Each structure stands twice: as structure tokens, then as C-alpha cells.
Structure 1
Amino acid sequence: MDQPRSITHDDLHATYVQRSIRELQHMVQREEIILADLRRSAGAVPITSAAASLEIMTSAYQKAARSAPFLPFPDSVLPALLALRKTHQVTAESEVYLAKGPDSPLEKARRGLAADKARLADQQALQTALEARVADLRTAAESRRSMTAEQRRREQQQETLAALRAKQREYDHDTAVLLKALKEFIQEQLGPMLAAEELGGPVVGGMVDIQTDDLAAGFSSQGKLRKSSHKPDATPGTKGKQVDRRQRRIDEIWGKKPRDAGGGEELSGDEGEGDDEEDRDEATVAAAEMQELTEELLNALASAGGNSAAAYITIARESAAARFLVRSKVAQFHPRDATKLRLIDFGRELDD
């Protein structure tokens, strides 16, 4: 007698499929019978209004809500088939959705992810740099705390010395600029006015626009400007006599040559390289005297070291340059000796 064959998993699956098919066929037949009944009843009772149609639909929905839902038997393959069909549908739709090219959400998400990664790398690099900087600052702070008082004092002295040197360079530059401006002012504006005062004209400031020909003509005893007798087309001999008279007048007032100044900052711009004394007119000589007198006064004040008595210089005569400096409250004569002159030290109290 043959041994009975054992039931395998495939046999059980085939049995479940057959049962599911028969159940579905039974449900289809039942739904077709219900549909036929509804068609016959709908044909027998005509719908006369929208309200009747709404009433019928309401009754049908209520009946469907009260009826139990269809559930397959526990071993039915219908849920698995439905799940498989839904999964296949979702997969197909996803493939179509992702195949739209660069504008697809996947590509946008990838680009966004790359940008976020780049920003994250930048933030990490910045964080690393900040941590290194914080570590350096902490190390410097600890080293400063560990320094002795003597080391801190030396460091402060070095910083102060560097600041003073920078200030000195700034003062030297400002001094050079001021000396250049003073030299230009003396040569271009003050020299002719000093020469006019020396020749008997008005004091400095009384006549501003003074020409070289005016100085050559001279001034009257009342200090009025004389009319120039020099003409451009004069004969060479006559012109030589006028130059000779001017040179004699320069020698009478200022001497053969302006006195040489000592060391220090030089204000003189005209050194007379190769020039004869005949080429020096009254304005040039007056400007040179003013420059040399100012230089002597500055050098004496600098070398005095704050000692007012040592800041005086001796002048050969009371010139227009000396009188101008006194009137301008820049210099002052010695209270008991009119041949001594010094600059007023504006950084100290004025002497009585």
C-alpha cells in the first residue's frame, strides 16, 4: 500500500489561492445580484426630484455604514496581492518622479546636501582656527602672569621708548615743515618789508606790496616812497653807477657780508654759491639777516637748557629784524642791556 504524500508549503499556498478565488467569485456573484435588484427597483420607481435622489443616496450610504466590511479569511492571499500591487505602483511612480533630470527633487536634495557639507567644512575650519587662537591667547596670558615684575617693567619701558621715538620722528618732520615755511615767508614777504624799514620807510606791515625797484628808489625823510629814477633803457655806464650806489648803501647798512651763523637748524636758503655781492639787493640781504638772527636765537634757546639768562645773544645793532621780533612778542631785549636779545620760551612763564 502506498505511503500518503506529505503536504508541502507550495500545496498550502495553492489551496489558499483557490479558496481566495472562490471567495472573490462568490462575492462578485452576490454583488451582481444586489446590483440587478437595484436596477429593477430603480426602473420600477422613477426618480421625480432631486430630493428623492438625495434620499435614496442617503439611505444607501447609511446601509453601507451599518453593514460589516468585507474581510478575507485569515489565510487568504488577497492582502499580500493587494500589498504587492500597491508596492509595484509606488515603485513605478517613484522611478518616473526621479527621472525628471536636474530639476528633480533628488538632484535638488543632492545639491543641498553638498552645500550643507561645504558649509559644515567651513564652520569646522573656523572652529579649529578659533580654538587655536584661544589656545594662543591663553598661553600668552599665562606667560604674562608668570613674568616677574622686573620683566614687566622692562617691557613697559621698551614700549614707552618706542612711543617716544615715534613722537620724536613726528616732531622732527613737523619742525622741518615749519622751518621751510618760515624760510619761504622771510624770503618772499618779510625780507622786502624789513629792507624798507632799514632804508627809512614804514615799519614792517605798514607797506605790504614792496617791489625791488621801490627799494632801489629809496624813501623820503617822511617815509614816503620815492619815484624810481631807473629806466630799463638806461645806458650801461649809468646802470653800473646805480648798481654801485646800491652796493654802497647795502655796505653802509649791513656791512660787507652778513655774519655767519652757528650750527643747528639752518634757515638760510641762499648760500651765495658763485654769486658776487653786487647781485644781492636790499630785500635779499634783509632776508638773510633775519634768517641768521632767527637761527642764532633758536640755537641759543636750545643750548640754554631752560636757563633764561643763557638764552641771550649779543647783537651788533638794533636792526629792523630785531625790532620786528620784539614787536611780534617773539623775542625780548634784556631788561638792562639793549644789545642782548633772546627768544621768549612759550613753554615757561614769561619773565617780567
Structure 2
Amino acid sequence: MAQSHNEALARIRQYAEATRGGYGDSMDFTTSSSEARLERTIKDLQARVQQQEAALAKLRAASDIDIEQAAYASEDPREKLKQLLVVKDAYTRLIPTVPELPGKGSAVPALLATRNLQQRIQESKMAISSTVDQIAKREGALRREEASLHDAKLLTRALEDGIVRLRAQYDDRSQKTPAAVVEELVASKRAKTESYDKEMQRLGQAMNDFINDYVSAMIAAEELGGPVVGDMFDVENETLAAGFTKKGKAKSGKKVVSDKLRQRRIDQIWGTKVIEEDGGDDDEPMTEAEAADQEMRQLIEDLFATMSGPGGGKGYLELKRDSAASRFLIRAKIAQFHPKDAKKIRLIDFGKELDD
């Protein structure tokens, strides 16, 4: 029992020391009077504990009741009733008894107030942290709702504008004769067709310029054993004429390659013939870039013809050989292989799924 008293006193001292360190500026715990008051309070509490223990020991000696057994309700109704009467009598005696409060100079109220204040501060910090998290979540939800509201407003405005246009078109057509409406639709269709034709010509010319200025030389380099398209830019005709090593590096251009050797190599790879430039009488040999350019154009034309031919755009073009041009179209996601035959390819229909 004495050990428990000492432990209780040690805890009180530790709590007083901790409180003194945390609230030394706001509470008078550093003066000698406060320490003396604390010592008196500890002695007073120790004396009260000893008195209570003495009274408890005297009560145990005078009573023959087992406290542990009396702490639980008996299963016998009569014994249970006696226990309830005893408890009632105890409460009746304790109600008018004035509780023993610490004296005027005791430090117990200050210690209790300090402990309560520390608990409230800790709870306030936890509540602030929880509130900050909730505010962040609510702000995120508010931003999402505002974005949804903005999209809904834009959609509503677009729908209202569409309704206004449709009503105007309906009112305009309702005032015209059927022949006039048909003539207007035909004119609109013809204008759209002409616009599409001009756009196709523009895009076709842009594609041809792109192939001629950039892609053809790189395709020829890959076909001759050089790097793949995109790994080497600004490929010169001299580099193509010199060729590439087995490791894909350009050979030295010091040794001049004859036109006959170049033409024989072009014929072996691309199978093309010489062409006449500018309508001249002399036949000029075709360069490697021009051969690759011609092959790429022909391949794209064949792919377009296959797509627009029978089969509803699902037909495949059978390749004569595995060329750098076809590999470039596959890597660029312009064409795709047949799922069961790597010698067949077709253009990707971007309006449908990749694998029909």
C-alpha cells in the first residue's frame, strides 16, 4: 500500500514539473511559495489517503462480509434484496455528507485546471486538423460541381442555339415550294462536294510535299540498311549513294559510286526504271530518294484503291515485299497488318474501331 502511495506522489510531482515547464510564463509555479504550497498539498493528500486507508482497514476488520463477493449481485432474491438495501442505506448516508475539498492554499485546483486545459488544447488541435481536412474535401467537391455546372451551361447554350437554328430553317423551308427546297439541297450538296474535293487536293499536295521533302530520303536510308525513319534527319543524296555499314552507320563518301552501280542497286531493291526529267532527251538515273518517293506514293494509292474497292473498306492489300515504306506506315499508325497474314495491310479507318 505504501508503494502505491509513493507512486501516486511521484506522478503528482512529475505532473507538476511538466506543468511548470509548459506554463511557467502564465502560472506562478517557479516561486518558492508555489513549491511550498505544492509540498503542503502533497502532505495533506498523503494524510487523507492514510486516514481513508485506516478507516477502510477498520471497516474490514469489523465486518465479516466478503467484499469481492458483495461487489456482485447475488442470485438469491433475498440476498440480492439485502444488498440493495445496504447500497440504499449507504447512498442515504453519503448524500448529506459534505465532500472534503482541498484547502484555500492547496495546489490541487490549479493542477486539475492545468490538466483540463491541456486536454482541451489537445482536443482543439485534433478538431482543427479534422476541420481542415473536411474543408479541403468540400472545396474539391465544390470545384468539381462548379466545373459540372459550367459544362452544363455550355451544353444548354449549344442546345438552345441549335433549337433556334432548326426553328429558323423550318420556318424558312415552310415558306418555300418543294422544288425550291430540293434545288437548295442540291446546291448545298454540290458546294460541300466541291469544298471536300479542294480540301482533298490540298491535303494530297501537302502529303506529297511531306513525302518528297522529308520522308523519302529517310525511307531510302532504312531500305539501304541505315537507321529507321525518324532516327536520322536531313539524309543527303551523297549519303544514300555511299550506302551504310552492317551496323547501320553511313559509309565514308570519299569513294565515288558509279551511276551504273547505283542504278543496279535501285533496280534490285525497288525494281524501278530510269525516268526522263523535264522531258529531256538524255535519260537521267533515278536517285534512291526518288525511288523511295515513287514507291511510297504508289503504295498509298494502292491502299486507297483497296479501301474504296469491294469489301466495304475491309479489304487488305497484299504486299509484294516487306519494304521500309510499309513498315513506316505501320509504325505511324496509318496502316495495320492483317491479323493472320503479315503480308497484307490496309489503311486504318479512323471512324471505326481498329480491329473490326
TM-score computed with the length of structure 2 as normaliser:
0.47
Q: Which has the larger radius of gyration?
A: 1
Higher relative CO (Cα under 8 Å, sequence separation at least 6) belongs to 1
